[in-house]
Chain A
């Protein structure tokens, strides 16, 4: 694999843009690439109702158990 990429200018000329060393692993080595956290872990808008529901459920269960004693 070449370690440069040729870019063509609108006036017909071109230049070679070097790729980082080890361009065989280029895709696995993406400098300045960022990913959305939404697909990696639950985002805050999802966590809030889920955690809120669990907390509410625990309180209600505790109240029911307390009443039944």
Chain B
């Protein structure tokens, strides 16, 4: 199976299967001020909601549904475990570019095959939301003095009004669905506020 990336959505049929051909956008290296948790979350939200390479890109919807296609309908545990394993197995945890705090869209992280905890969180939240789940970013502190880590929390029991939130920290590696690393304190930020990210 071959998936493509597009900007102007060009749908063609190749060998009986639908193929998306994507025309990449112009190169860009954008600089953002990230001096607080709120600023960081604003950039992360913006990347989750991107029209190209983010939640509003049909290609990401396609990848999100491919990831969970083997699960019985409405089986939340199977779907979220599938998203966790897909990200954990295909995206290696790695650091940012030296001396830079970088953030990648969900598509970029899949293309690069690596990313740090910010990039894992953006990708996991995007794929969960493509499957109809609500997501949060959980930012944690190891010692209580600094903010050190981030991962995705996804709502279960009801897609519209979740009553239970589970951790998808894909940086821990495969087989660790719903596990949370030890932490001194944390803060949660909802992802589903598109207007903040625009």
User: CB within 8 Å of B: which residues of A?
Assistant: 4-5, 7-11, 13-21, 26, 29-40, 43-45
Q: How far is the CA of A35 from the CA of B43 in the complex (A)?
A: 10
Q: Is the CB of B5 within 8 A of A18?
A: yes
Complex: how many Å from CA A7 to CA B1?
10
List, in ascending order, chain B residues with CB within 8 A of A19's CB. Answer: 111
A43 to B66, alpha carbons, bound, how many Å? 42
* Residues from chain A with Cβ under 8 Å of B172 in the complex: none
Do A16 and B3 have beta carbons less than 8 Å apart? yes
Q: Whole-angstrom distance from the CB of A35 to the nearest CB of chain B?
A: 5
List chain A residues, Cβ under 8 A from B29: 30, 33-35
From A7, A30, A37, give the contact of B33 (CB < 8 A).
A37
Chain B residues with CB under 8 Å of chain A are: 1-5, 22, 24-35, 43, 47, 50, 52-54, 63, 66-67, 69-70, 81-82, 85-86, 89-90, 97, 99-105, 107-108, 110-113
**Neighbour of B28 across the interface among A11, A31, A36, CB < 8 A:** A31
Q: Which residues of A contact B47 (CB under 8 A)?
A: 32, 34
Q: Which residues of A contact B102 (CB under 8 A)?
A: 33-36
Q: List, in ascending order, chain B residues with CB within 8 A of A17's CB.
A: 3, 5, 63, 110-111
Tell whether, in the assembled complex, residue A18 and residue B2 are in contact, meaning their CB atoms are under 8 Å apart: yes
Task: Determine the chain A residues whose CB is within 8 A of the CB of B67 once the complex forms.
Answer: 9-10
Task: Closest A residue to B84 by CB, please name it.
Answer: A10
B35 touches A45 (CB 8 A): yes
Contacts of A36 in B (CB 8 A): 31-34, 100-102
- Known: A10-B82, A38-B33. Contact between A32 and B66, CB under 8 A? no
- Docked Cα-Cα span, A53 to B9, in Å, equals 54
Out of B22, B30, B53, B54, name the residue touching A18 (CB < 8 Å).
B22
Return chain B residues, CB-CB under 8 Å to A5.
Answer: 110-111, 113
Q: A31-B53, A45-B35 are in contact. Are A16 and B2 (CB under 8 A)?
A: yes
- Min CB–CB distance B168 → chain A (angstroms): 13
Given contacts A8-B90, A10-B70, A10-B82, contact A35 B35 (CB under 8 A): no
Residues of chain A contacted by B111 (CB below 8 angstroms): 5, 17, 19-20, 26
A15 and B66 contacting across the interface, CB-CB below 8 Å: yes
Q: Nearest chain B CB to A15's CB is how many angstroms away?
A: 4
Tell me, rounded to whole Å, the shortest Cβ–Cβ distance linking A19 to chain B: 5
Shortest C-beta distance, B93 to chain A (Å), equals 16
CA A43 to CA B101, docked complex, whole Å? 14
